[in-house]
Structure 1
């Protein structure tokens, strides 16, 4: 079994290195459906796995000055309280006893389908919105976005929704967060979107993971095996990623996530 966990970490690490996404989206379903890990433990362990594997990225992006910290604070103002409230509710109603296995699995399915949709539709939706700028609905969305107070409030609400989703499923902080930021802050460069999204995802997954740990839904030995496999996997994936087109890998990953998401829901 230990070798299986090492290989799972290696596979997910390679996918993360090649595409920049897929950590929580792939690891939690693998743990639940292949290794039959209790859903709450799979989510809790994967949250700390995601926090640790992404933490190095913050330092690199911070040094280059591409993290927009005011946006990170806005997201965190919604996500951290929402995470703590979700953890309190789940713990008070028997998370450690497996009472929420079905809720977690369904939440995972929804999160995976939304994440895959974000991967597939991000560019087409952007083009569609730009081509329909005169449409009343699109125009109203742009007007809301241009108001700084409205934008700040929507960012906080977005953080809260991500906090609930990530705490329940360990999925959503990456691709979904990036798509929403891309719409709300269109003047940001691509690297600034990615850096800001990661800078928010790390404390969010860390807090949620520690919360799961406090109620006993983190398997520490499993976490060590996953990390031992993923770190060389990320190194391999980054080298493969420059040789395989992103236009091939992202749609393939999105299709896999849709199929796994459907399995979670049925």
Structure 2
């Protein structure tokens, strides 16, 4: 078995980012293989999904032990996501020619990356919301079965087609459906339901013959130490800056996959960066004013003359 050492190094760097931010696995790993190592889209997606199926149960077990998982919510998500993820593999092949299938997957991945950027924005919103204390106990949420089932179906199909969504897209939808859940509860619930979902998508790709053992082995060997290192660094690194950098990388990758011209890409990235900076400044000022008022010393009472 031949190990692809450049790919191993690339997967290590991506895994460090995943460990730092908790997001970006499929959203970065698959485009990296396509754009820098010329791996065909379906083979890149297949290898990434099989590698994720090996690693995700570890994180899911940790969240289960810490009580940050709603198993009823997991059950309804899986009811939609598992069959949809398996079928998504075959949706990617519902074209007349191999070239058309590869092109369709490439465009689908570009759209999924744009949605992943929205996931990072939602995660930033989560950080702001947690400071305000608007949270609920994970066992006390009011379950919404049908919308949750639909979220699982859409997220599973997206993962089966593009490998993107298990750690970002579904969280955006869960945030809209259950806005009072804490960030770690959203992440934990999504991660546990992603274990059977990613496994179903991986099985579909294995059956369809897109799996390449040497690619997956290189991904796993690079990802395991990278995730560990990223998680160790995350306690000291500025998370907001890292998430902003990740958003720029995802947006640039999406535009590249969608075949946007270099000039247009530069304008879009510049405009997005300027907008994000302005929004960050406004949010920071909005948070600092209540804190300043709360910590301001009261004026001394005047003594009667």
TM range (shorter): 0.7 to 0.9
Deviation string, structure 1 residues 193-217 (Cα, Å, up to 9, x no partner): 1110001112111110111011111
Judge which range, 84-93 or 174-183, deviates more: 84-93
How has the CA–CA distance of structure 1 residues 125 and 6 changed in structure 2, closer, same or farther, with 3 Å as cutoff?
A: closer
How has the CA–CA distance of structure 1 residues 123 and 15 changed in structure 2, closer, same or farther, with 3 Å as cutoff?
A: closer
How has the CA–CA distance of structure 1 residues 87 and 61 changed in structure 2, closer, same or farther, with 3 Å as cutoff?
A: same
More relative contact order, 1 or 2 (CA 8 Å, 6+ apart): 1
Matched, 1:234 2:227: yes
Contact 2:14 2:29 in 1 (8 A): yes
Contact 1:91 1:215 in 2 (8 A): no
1:157 is matched with which residue?
Answer: 150
1:117 is matched with which residue?
Answer: 118
Deviation string, structure 1 residues 160-200 (Cα, Å, up to 9, x no partner): 11111111110012112112212212332222111100011
Task: After TM superposition, list the pairs within 5 Å mapping 1:92-241 onto structure 2.
Answer: 93=95, 97-124=98-125, 151-241=144-234
3-state SS of paired residue (2:50): helix
Q: Which runs of 5+ in 2 are unaligned?
A: 130-140, 260-305
Out of 38, 48, 51, the position equivalent to 1:49 is 51
1:245 is matched with which residue?
Answer: 238
Task: After TM superposition, list the pairs within 5 Å mapping 1:33-44 onto structure 2.
Answer: 33-44=35-46
Q: Separation in 1 of the partners of 2:12 and 2:126?
A: 33
Q: Separation in 2 of the partners of 1:35 and 1:252?
A: 22
Output the TM-score relative to the length of structure 2.
0.75
Q: Which runs of 5+ in 1 are unaligned?
A: 129-145
3-state SS of paired residue (2:179): coil
Q: Separation in 2 of the partners of 1:258 and 1:203?
A: 28
Q: Separation in 2 of the partners of 1:220 and 1:257?
A: 26
How has the CA–CA distance of structure 1 residues 253 and 203 changed in structure 2, closer, same or farther, with 3 Å as cutoff?
A: same
Q: Separation in 1 of the partners of 2:218 and 2:177?
A: 38
Judge which range, 229-238 or 184-193, deviates more: 184-193
How has the CA–CA distance of structure 1 residues 224 and 182 changed in structure 2, closer, same or farther, with 3 Å as cutoff?
A: same
1:58: Cα distance to partner? 1.2
Q: Separation in 1 of the partners of 2:25 and 2:128?
A: 28
How has the CA–CA distance of structure 1 residues 88 and 107 changed in structure 2, closer, same or farther, with 3 Å as cutoff?
A: closer
Contact 1:107 1:169 in 2 (8 A): yes
1:126: Cα distance to partner? 9.8
1:125: Cα distance to partner? 9.1
How many residues align? The count is: 246
Output the TM-score relative to the length of structure 1.
0.85
Deviation string, structure 1 residues 3-54 (Cα, Å, up to 9, x no partner): 1111012111111111111111110001111111110010011111122222
Q: Separation in 2 of the partners of 1:208 and 1:246?
A: 31
Judge which range, 179-188 or 71-80, deviates more: 179-188
